[in-house]
Amino acid sequence: MVLSKTTSQLDESVHSTFASRYVRHSLPRFTMPENSIPKEAAFQIINDELMLDGNPRLNLASFVTTWMEPECDKLIMDSINKNYVDMDEYPVTTELQNRCVNIIAHLFNAPLGDGEAAVGVGTVGSSEAIMLAGLAFKRKWQNKMKAKGKPYDKPNIVTGANVQVCWEKFARYFEVELKEVKLREGYYVMDPEKAVEMVDENTICVAAILGSTLNGEFEDVKRLNELLTEKNKTTGWDTSIHVDAASGGFIAPFIYPELEWDFRLPLVKSINVSGHKYGLVYAGIGWAIWRSKEDLPEELIFHINYLGTDQPTFTLNFSKGSSQVIAQYYQLIRLGHEGYKCIMENCQENAKVLKEGLEKTKRFNIVSKENGVPLVAFSLKDNSSHTEFEVSELLRRFGWIVPAYTMPPNAEHVTVLRVVIREDFSRTLAERLVSDIEKVLQELDNLPSRVRMKLAGSEETAGKHDDVVKKTINDVQKEITATWRKFAADRKKTKGVC
């Protein structure tokens, strides 16, 4: 266990870490170092470098949970050495996963009888969950087309252009065409009518998002279901729906229980949700739930026969840690329905505080809606002198990480700032953020606009030759706008962080 010959020099253990020679050497970056170093030195060096990472709790870009109770931290640490896939060695952990699947399936109103086990699995995140769900749809569609004797080499999937990058990954890696419904200014989610129009006989499913990454909006899954049911009647194609509820899956059931978006709609065959977003667990857990056994083709499931038990598995990852699954179960029983509801209501309340604080400055348009994921997306009313990207940069000085994005096609001219309200973003933090934003606006107002200065310079030189000059000014203006647009485009962060 403990290496017997780590210390090469006899008196090394006497030096305090910062007195030792290890802090004097630069660590190799490309090759493994030849010798060992004491564990205290290794810890200190890495710990110190990591101080320069952002503070996770001030990262307002991410939906992913950044705080859990100390009791849960203890459970996590105790199970950090359990390999989740060893179902036979860790039967309790496996059972906890099954319980979580059942609890979430019931939360989503899956049509299960009493005592009937739900069909679903724990994954590393919504990306894996979406790939599994997509695979199931692809295989079902292929079998259907084969049975009809039709070609099955060109499957496609219909989604909005606001989808998170993992759908594009799924499409590219599993060779499915992605048919995107374009957005437009003021309408930043998938239009159900346009989506249903795009459905053809090669469509394996239509993917709706509950909680769009960009502005937190819930797509109208019920309307999509109605339109698609009608189309299915005439075409006989039987196209189904998948709901990407990565963010919204743990919000809608608590705050909007009458909103019909889940298995209550008959065409919805599978749902994914991120345990590490509003499931309130650290990064590394997602859930994929299927409506029933029929929606998950048996040929995709691998059966691992352990002594006495048959465990079916359908995941892309094999070995992984058990901590997050245990943490998810802890949260489900610790908080219960009442607890989750209270937390979501608090988040919404704090989002409102932030929204009202921003509206009071009279400088911002609020782009996010009331109903949806608790976040506030806002853009500058007047971004001719300063852009949202500059606001984002200046906020970093205070420690806040607030991303600025341009919208996907066809609304690329709209740029927004987005603040996600997580469980640990309290009211005091919200008020502090508003006051810091006000400070930033004041600073920007005092700064000369970078764009205006260049234009002013060109006007002076242009006064001498009229015709040629007019063209020149226009050209110069175009050039400058183009340069800044390119600069902003190069820095844009459309679908990076979920």
- CA angle centred on 110, ends 104 and 116, rounded to 5°: 90
> In this complex, which beta carbon is closest to another protein, that of residue 77 or of residue 456?
77
419 makes contact with another protein (CB under 8 A): no
Spell out the residues 6+ positions from residue 277 whose beta carbon is closer than 8 angstroms to its own: 63, 64, 65, 246, 247, 250, 498
Of 167-175, 190-198, 214-222, 463-471: span binding another protein (CB under 8 A)? 167-175
> In this complex, which beta carbon is closest to another protein, that of residue 103 or of residue 366?
103
> In this complex, which beta carbon is closest to another protein, that of residue 187 or of residue 302?
302
Q: Restricting to residues 275-304, name those near another protein by CB under 8 A.
A: 276, 282-284, 299-300, 302, 304
Q: Please select the residue that binds another protein; options are 16, 26, 31, 446, rule is CB under 8 A.
A: 31
Which DSSP helix (H) or strand (E) runs through 429?
helix 427-446
Phi-psi region of 402 (alpha: psi -120 to 50; beta: other; left: phi over 0): beta
Give the Cα separation of 315 and 320 in Å (integer): 11
Contact yes or no for 296/313 (Cβ under 8 A): no
> In this complex, which beta carbon is closest to another protein, that of residue 3 or of residue 14?
3
> In this complex, which beta carbon is closest to another protein, that of residue 267 or of residue 417?
417
Least gap, CB of 104 to another protein (angstroms): 8
Strand blocks (E) in 306-408: 310-313, 364-366, 375-380, 404-406
53 makes contact with another protein (CB under 8 A): yes
Give the Cα separation of 312 and 402 in Å (integer): 42
Least gap, CB of 469 to another protein (angstroms): 36
Least gap, CB of 472 to another protein (angstroms): 32
Q: Restricting to residues 180-199, name those near another protein by CB under 8 A.
A: none
Of 22-30, 231-239, 355-363, 410-418: span binding another protein (CB under 8 A)? 22-30
> In this complex, which beta carbon is closest to another protein, that of residue 228 or of residue 330?
330
Q: Please select the residue that binds another protein; options are 10, 11, 26, 35, rule is CB under 8 A.
A: 35
Contact yes or no for 97/117 (Cβ under 8 A): no
What is the total residue count of the chain? 498
Q: Please select the residue that binds another protein; options are 12, 15, 45, 352, rule is CB under 8 A.
A: 45
Of 208-216, 312-320, 350-358, 466-474: span binding another protein (CB under 8 A)? 312-320
- Per-residue CA distances from 208 to 34, 158, 234, 286 (Å): 53, 9, 22, 17
Q: Restricting to residues 317-336, name those near another protein by CB under 8 A.
A: 317-322, 324, 326, 329-330, 332-336
Q: What is the dihedral of CA 420, 422, 426, 427, to 10 degrees?
A: 40
Give the Cα separation of 6 and 2 in Å (integer): 9
> In this complex, which beta carbon is closest to another protein, that of residue 57 or of residue 194?
57
Question: Residues in contact with another protein, total (CB under 8 A)?
Answer: 135
Q: What is the residue-wise DSSP string for 19-79?
A: GSGGGTSPPPSSS--SS---HHHHHHHHHHHHTTSPPGGGBTT--S-----HHHHHHHHHT
CA-wise closest residue to 187 among 219, 157, 164: 219
Q: What is the dihedral of CA 462, 466, 468, 470, to 10 degrees?
A: 70
Give the Cα separation of 75 and 85 in Å (integer): 18
Least gap, CB of 289 to another protein (angstroms): 13
Q: Restricting to residues 116-135, name those near another protein by CB under 8 A.
A: 118, 124-128, 131, 135
Contact yes or no for 137/269 (Cβ under 8 A): yes
Q: Please select the residue that binds another protein; options are 9, 13, 18, 49, rule is CB under 8 A.
A: 49
Least gap, CB of 274 to another protein (angstroms): 7
Q: Please select the residue that binds another protein; options are 61, 209, 224, 394, rule is CB under 8 A.
A: 61
> In this complex, which beta carbon is closest to another protein, that of residue 85 or of residue 196?
85
Which DSSP helix (H) or strand (E) runs through 342?
helix 323-360
Least gap, CB of 452 to another protein (angstroms): 23
> In this complex, which beta carbon is closest to another protein, that of residue 190 or of residue 325?
325
Spell out the residues 6+ positions from residue 44 whose beta carbon is closer than 8 angstroms to its own: 17, 18, 23
Least gap, CB of 317 to another protein (angstroms): 5
482 makes contact with another protein (CB under 8 A): no
Q: What is the dihedral of CA 221, 225, 226, 232, to 10 degrees?
A: 160
Q: Restricting to residues 204-233, name those near another protein by CB under 8 A.
A: none
Spell out the residues 6+ positions from residue 183 whose beta carbon is closer than 8 angstroms to its own: 160, 161, 162, 189, 407, 408, 409, 410, 411
Q: Restricting to residues 62-101, name those near another protein by CB under 8 A.
A: 62, 64-69, 71-86, 88-93, 96, 99
Alpha carbon 238 to chain centroid, angstroms? 30
Q: Please select the residue that binds another protein; options are 10, 14, 19, 52, rule is CB under 8 A.
A: 52
> In this complex, which beta carbon is closest to another protein, that of residue 78 or of residue 294?
78
Binding mask 371-410 for another protein (x = CB under 8 A): ------------------x--xx-------x---------
